[in-house]
Structure 1
Amino acid sequence: MHRTPRTARTIALAAAGLLALTACAPALTINAYAPSDGTRVDLTNELRGLNLLILAAEQGGEGLVQGALANRTGGTVTFTLTVDGAAPVEVEVDPATTVYLGTADGEQVLLDTVAKAPGTFLEATLDADGESASFQLPVLDGTLPEYAGSVPQG
């Protein structure tokens, strides 16, 4: 088969177009990440904090913990969240269960005080079943409509 310069040019342009489209495709990852405003904390493959954040009206006030705690082990586990400037809080999670925090159907977990203003991060540690991880915990207020009705007013 004999190719003309026009055919070769068409094939080259098609290949270049395909390459350009491939470069624009979203990068897929197998790495775990937090797809929302909160922080993901993996203690093990079976014990996780998901989308954890604090909702607070102001520095020094109460803070509502929002997110979820997942226990994929065969036994009940107590998660302890320690946040700089606040008393630690504990949440018991049954085997093979995820407990949602700060939602209408979830468990209400309040920090007694939030040491930093909304828009910042607090140093935090999540402990469960002998495992521990330190992380940055975002503090948000009611500026975003999805959080406006959940911010503690006390």
Structure 2
Amino acid sequence: MITARMTAGRRIAASLAVAALAFGVTSCGAINQQATTTQYNASDGIHVDVADAEVRNLMFVANTDASEARLIGSVVNDADSAVSVSIKADSASAVTIEVPANEVIKLEDDANETVISSLGVNQGEHAVTIFTADGETVEFSVPVVDGTLAEYRDFVPGGYDSATTEHLKPVEHESTSGH
């Protein structure tokens, strides 16, 4: 026979179980940062500011032996006077990019092609790079990519060689699972 006291006890126990479950499911937000509040650069390249210059989505696209690498990305100057940005990666010689006042230099454009010789950093690694403008210096790690991804193939110094990635093509396998 079920009494009113037993029913009330079961309701309380059930309520506590539901509360414990709800706390367990939602409490991780109390101690972990919400991922959607983290700001990041949604690109393959880096973003760095040096003096009045804003370097955006910068990376090196290297050839197979990393003897040369092309810079791609943009350098933005929102100031009212021109700025010169020096970029020196690892053991390579420095290059200088002149950016007129209130202009953007897009390094992907043929007119702005900037190639660094003797980069000495392999694809998939990062090159320690020093950015200098108006007496300010910033050091940053810049990614080095190659022509594996189609969107970078046009920027490989000396041209893209398909032999370097032809082994990466997917191979169809027969499924044994019956699906």
The two structures have a TM-score, normalised by structure 1, of 0.76
Structure 2 counterpart of 1:27: 36
Structure 1 counterpart of 2:55: 49
Distance 2:117 2:63 in 1: 13
Q: Which residue type is aligned with residue 54 of structure 1?
A: F
Which structure has greater helix proportion? 2
- 1:68 corresponds to 2:77: no
Structure 2 counterpart of 1:117: 122
Please list every run of 5 or more consecutive structure 2 residues that lacks an aligned counterpart in the other structure. Answer: 1-26, 160-179
Residue correspondences, number: 149
RMSD value, Cα: 3.0
Whether contact under 8 Å (1:53, 1:139) holds in the other structure is yes
1:79 to partner: Cα distance: 0.5
Q: Which residue type is aligned with residue 28 of structure 1?
A: T
* Percent identity between the two aligned chains: 29
Structure 1 counterpart of 2:163: none
Distance 2:35 2:90 in 1: 37
Whether contact under 8 Å (1:79, 1:126) holds in the other structure is yes
- 1:88 corresponds to 2:97: no
- Tell which structure's C-alpha radius of gyration is larger: 2
Picking from 110, 134, 143, the partner of 2:148 is 143
1:29 to partner: Cα distance: 4.6
Per-residue Cα deviation, 1:95-151 (whole angstroms, up to 9, x for no partner): 1111111334x5100101221111101110111111110000111000011111211
Please list every run of 5 or more consecutive structure 1 residues that lacks an aligned counterpart in the other structure. Answer: 1-18
The two structures have a TM-score, normalised by structure 2, of 0.66
Q: CA distance change for structure 1 residues 61 and 82 in 2, over 3 Å: closer, same or farther?
A: same
Picking from 14, 34, 39, the partner of 2:46 is 39
Aligned partner of residue 27 in structure 1, secondary structure: helix
1:43 to partner: Cα distance: 1.8
Runs of 4+ in structure 1 off by over 4 angstroms are none
Aligned partner of residue 149 in structure 1, secondary structure: helix
Aligned partner of residue 137 in structure 2, secondary structure: strand
